[in-house]
Amino acid sequence: MLDWMAWTWPTAAFFGVIAALLITFTILAIKYPETPRTGILRIETTRGDRLFITLLGSAFINIAWLGLGFGPQYFALLVCLGYAAAVFRWV
C-alpha cells in the first residue's frame, strides 16, 4: 500500500497525525472561535499559530536529538510533548 513512495509505517503515521491535528484545529476554530492572545513572546497568537510554533520547534528538537546522539528517539517525543505543553500554555 505504501510502496509508491517507499514510505514506512512510522512516516505514514507521522503525516496522519499532522493531518488529524490540522482537521481538529479547523473544527475547533469553527466551533469555538477565539481572539488572539499575547504571551511571553509579546506577539498575538491563535491556536493555529501556537500549533505551527510547536511543530516547527519539535522538528528542531528532533533534528538536534538525532545530531547530538542523545539516545532513543522516543525520548525526544517526550521532550517535544513538554515543549508543546509550554507553548500552548505560555506563548
Per-residue pLDDT of 6-26, as tens digits, reads 778 888 888 999 999 999 999
Residues 17 and 44 in one domain: no
Instruction: State the pLDDT at residue 11.
Output: 82
Phi, psi for residue 70 in degrees, rounded to 5: -75, -10
Amino acid at 82: G
Can you give the pTM of this predicted structure?
A: 0.84
Residues 49 and 21 in one domain: no
Count of domains for the chain: 2
Residues 48 and 10 in one domain: no
Instruction: Flag whether pLDDT at 51 surpasses 90.
Output: yes
Residues 41 and 1 in one domain: no
Residues across the chain: 91
Residue 90's SS3 state is helix
Mean pLDDT calculated for residue range 41-53: 93
Q: In the chain, how many H helices and how many E strands?
A: 3, 2
> What percent of the chain stands above pLDDT 70?
95
What residue numbers bound the domain in which 4 lies? 1-33
Amino acid at 28: L
